[in-house]
Each structure stands twice: as structure tokens, then as C-alpha cells.
Amino acid sequence: MLVDGKLFIGASRNPDDSLNKPEYLELKFGNRHGLVTGATGTGKTVTLQILAESFSEAGVPVFCADIKGDLSGIAAKGEAKDFLLKRAEAIGLSPYEFRAAPVIFWDLYGEQGHRVRTTIAEMGPLLLSRLMDASEAQEGVLNIAFKIADQGGLPLLDLKDLQALLNYMGEHASELSSQFGLISKASVGSLQRGLLILEQQGAENFFGEPALAISDIMRTTSDGRGTISVLAADKLMMNPRLYATFLLWLLSELFEELPEVGDPEKPRLVFFFDEAHLLFDDAPKVLVDRIEQVVRLIRSKGVGVYFVTQNPLDVPETVLAQLGNRVQHALRAYTPREQKAVKTAAETFRPNPAFDCETAITALGTGEALVSTLEGKGIPSMVERTLIRPPASRLGPITPAERQQLMATSPVSGVYDRDADRESAYEILTERARKAAEAEAARRAEEEGKESAGGRWTLPGFGDETEEQTKTAKNGTRRSSGYQRESVLEAAMKSAARSVATSVGRALVRGILGSLKR
């Protein structure tokens, strides 16, 4: 499926239906992004499948989501079905060989793939606000929460940590407001309720450690193929906001972590964003602007982003303008909105005098598309009516047994799966708190000897009680685990207060989409 650094997509046809020429996507323009659109059942998923297969074969790791489970077959060897063989022949694909792609399955719920997690701290306030559909006032409070946490090195790992911090902020709202800006108790309350809802929706599975390491979605196999990470998203789609926020977080992580490479020979990673409309549906303008910015800048980090959606109007114009490689499957044109979509889709192509784009879009068959990719110095090729190649991997889902087998032998088997994660997150917190308390005690002891000049900046609630608490700790008073979490937070808050006070240069820095910079 690879010819001289080009991915074979299919073959175009002449108006008289005769074979015209093979159509390619050039690897060196793979990071110039792309768009796959079309009405339901027109061939988008299969197009995604063949593009992912080919990138993988070229040694490029791929990340994609499997919305309906029908993309999972990419992990299995295809079978010689008549209609596939016929299509291979029609486009001059010879020999047509079947082959499974190297796949790692991921799942936020840990059922149909390895667990994917991140921490609250890594997600950051912007995406979390989006996830919680926060109002402006609530977003303000979240920003303050992250400011306190980031500046003080306070570990916000899971939902409970944030819940505890919000409790604290609610209790000390008036004092904190004078230091950090207005904290309305009502907003704190709504955020707390929002967190409970998230928890009920199963988002707690997603927040914690071990967090996904980007290197695990950028793997290559020993025979030089790029690994395809397939995110099981059927269950996830019941919570579209979590789905969209998760993918945005991942994009943002890639952006913040990867170094600049300019325009590489081939992409370092290709990222498919299926159901891309979910990203932009009633997204605030700030977020759309930031997404646009990340998409524009991530290209020079060698990452190609491909949006997959039914309607090209789903993608904002500023983003659309950056998508160089386009595959437009059939669209219907019954309603005015559909007609507008057809018109828009047609207008974005470099016209081909041989046919009328608008008419063609409504007349395309299944697995057929208008294709234009970047060529030469990076200009879009003339649009061609193209029969997309059949996949080498299986069309349709794999069986649960096959999936289990693949998960058991995957290169990350055991790395993310252990249920001990919650424990470990909590242990980390406890350990940090213990160290912080120890350091605090030592520092106090020293200070008492020196008779400090005073004027130290503190967070409310953490002034003079410290000694009392240290004493309690010395007395070895046992606390219930709920209360313990509070004390963990208190200790961390103390260390927060200290670093804000001394402006220790370890404040965390956040990137465009608000995730952590390293």
C-alpha cells in the first residue's frame, strides 16, 4: 500500500467510469492534516481504516477512536470476500494482500482495552471547565483552584482531591478572595455538584494514576511498523463531553510534550478525531480559538490531525482552512442545511474541469469519495472522483476473545491495568503529605530557635494551628480515612502556602489548552 513515500488511497475514475489513475497521500504532507466527511454509511470508517493501516505500514504510529466497535477489525487479518476482491481489481490493486495491523486497544473504562488515565492537574482548568460545562463564574473559581494547586505544588490527582480543595475554598472563601480574586460560594457549590455528577458518569475511572505516557501511543514494532492505538469509544460516546475533552487533552499533551521537528519526511504520529463535531458543538469561542491554534502549531511537531465527521460545516472555518488532505464521501442534499453543506464541500476543492463537484458529491457510491491531497510544494491536487481501496485488515469488529488475546500480549500489558492505581495515587498523596509535614515540623523547630521576623504569607486556616496539628500527629492520634484525606490536603495546602510565600520557582506552567508544560 506504499509507493515511493506515498500512501495508496484508491483509484480515480473518468466521467465514462473507466479507470483514471492511482490516488496517493504523500507521507511528507501527512502532518498537513486532513478531513474525512460523508453521510452515514458512505465509507468514512473504512477510509479511516485504510489510512491508519497505510500510515502504520510506513512506520507512523496512529491514534484513533472506535466509536461503534467496527474499526476494531483493523487488528485482525482481512478475509478474501468477493466484493473486496472485485474492488481491488477495479482499482488495479495487485497483489491484494491481507494483513493485521499492530494494534493497542485503550479504554477509559478498562474493559475493552488498557486503562487510560490522566490526573486533574494535567488536564488543567480550561478543559475541566469544558468537561463540567462550567459557567464563567465557575470557571473563575476553577482557575483559582488550579492557581493555588499549581503554585504550591499541590497534587490534584483525582476527583476527590479537587473535591477536597473546593471544600477548603468554600470554607475559606472570603479570606481567599482577598488574595486570589472573587470566590463565590454558590459557584463552589455548583462545581462540587458537577464533580459528583462526573463521578456518577464514571469519569472517576479516568482521573488518577498511572497517567498515560505519550510514549506508549508513539510506539513502533520491531519490524518498523507504527502501532495503531484504538480507543474503544462506544461506551464513552454516552458521555460525549468526556470523549471530546479526553481527545483534546491528548492532543494538548502531544503538543506540549513533543519537540519541534519542522516538516519531517513523514509524520511522527497521526491522530484521527472521529465524530469531530463533538469538539466544536457549543464550544466557547476561546476554546475553538485555542483548538485552532494547537492544530496550526502541532504540524511542526510532526503530528497530523485528521477530523472525521458527517458534515464539513461541523468544523469551524479557521480549522477547516488548515486541513490539507481531504476525502469527501457522499452527502445527501434534501434539507437547506444539507444543500449548504454540499455547496461548501464542493467549493473547498480545487475544481476538476472533467466534472461538477456539487453534482458528484450527491452521486458518489459507498466507499467512493472526492479526494484531494497536497502535492508538489504543498498545493492541493485537483479533485478526483476516487474509489477507495479495500482494507488489508478485517472489515468489521473483532470478537471479544480476539480482543482479550491481543490485550494479553500487548506491549503495555500490565502497565496500566492494575487496579492498584487508586491506592497508589492515594499513597503518593499520603507520602508527599508525610514528607511535607516532616519538613514543616523541622522548619518550625528551626524557626522557633531563630525567632523569625514574621510577615510570612499564609493561606487562611494554616497559621497558628500548625503546631497543634503537629502535636496531634506526634500523639499518634488515628484518624478515619475520610478525615485523613482532609489532613493530607491540609498538609499539602501548607506546603502550597509556603511556596507561594517564598515564590519558590517551582510553580507549574500551563500551555495553550491549559495542560501542564514539562
Ligand X SMILES: Nc1ncnc2c1ncn2[C@@H]1O[C@H](COP(=O)(O)OP(=O)(O)OP(=O)(O)O)[C@@H](O)[C@H]1O
Using CB under 6 A as the criterion, which residues of the chain lie in contact with ligand X when the complex forms?
Answer: 38, 40-46, 68, 70, 84, 87, 366-367, 388, 390, 395
Give rounded-to-5 percent helix, strand, coil for the chain: 50, 15, 35
Q: Of all residues in this chain, which one has the CB nearest to Mg ion in the complex?
A: 45
Which residues on adjacent β-strands are paired with residue 64? Answer: 230
Give the nearest distance from C-beta 233 to ligand X in angstroms: 12
Residue 37 as a binder of Mg ion (CB under 5 A): the answer is: no
The kind and range of the H/E element at 394 are: none
Considering the complex, state which of residue 40 and residue 475 has its C-beta at the smaller distance from ligand X. Answer: 40
47 binds Mg ion per the rule CB under 5 A: no
With the C-alpha atoms ordered 22, 26, 30, 32, is the resulting torsion angle positive or negative? negative
Between 53 and 253, CB nearer to ligand X: 53
Q: Which does 5 bind (CB under 5 to 8 A by kind): ligand X, Mg ion, none?
A: none
Chain-centroid distance of CA 9 in Å reads 26
| Shortest Å, Cβ 278 to ligand X | 14
- Binding partner of 178, given Mg ion, ligand X, none, CB within 5-8 angstroms per partner class: none
Interface of this chain with Mg ion, residues 478 to 517, rule: CB under 5 A = none
Four-CA torsion 150, 155, 157, 160, nearest 10 degrees: -100
Distance CA 369, CA 373 (A): 12
Choose the stretch contacting Mg ion; rule: CB under 5 A; options: 45-53, 145-153, 162-170, 445-453. Answer: 45-53
User: By rule CB under 5 A, what count of residues binds Mg ion?
Assistant: 1
d(CA 290, CA 283): 11
Q: How far apart are CA 376 and CA 208, in angstroms?
A: 46
Q: Pick what 378 binds: ligand X, Mg ion, none; C-beta below 5 to 8 Å, kind-dependent.
A: none
Question: What residues have CB less than 8 Å from 178, skipping those under 6 apart?
Answer: none
Task: Tell me how far apart the alpha carbons of residues 276 and 317 are, in angstroms, rounded to a whole number.
Answer: 14
Using the rule CB under 5 A, is 45 a contact of Mg ion?
yes
Q: Quick one: which segment of 42-50, 184-192, 221-229, 284-292 binds Mg ion (CB under 5 A)?
A: 42-50
Q: Looking at beta carbons, which residue is closest to ligand X?
A: 367
Partner whose footprint covers residue 404, from Mg ion, ligand X, none (CB < 5 to 8 Å by kind): none
> Are 204 and 159 within 8 A, CB to CB?
yes
**Cis amide leading into 380 (omega within 30):** no
Q: How far is the CB of 382 from ligand X (least distance, A)?
A: 21
Helices 136-152 and 481-502: angle between axes, nearest 10 degrees = 80
Chosen from ligand X, Mg ion, none, partner binding at 409 (C-beta under 5 to 8 Å by type): none
Name which of 238 and 420 has its Cβ closer to ligand X: 238
Q: Could you tell me the three cell numbers for 63?
A: 491514534
27 binds, among Mg ion, ligand X, none (CB under 5 to 8 A by kind): none
| Of 49 and 352, CB closest to ligand X | 49
Cis before 95 (ω within 30): yes
Residues binding Mg ion (CB under 5 A) = 45
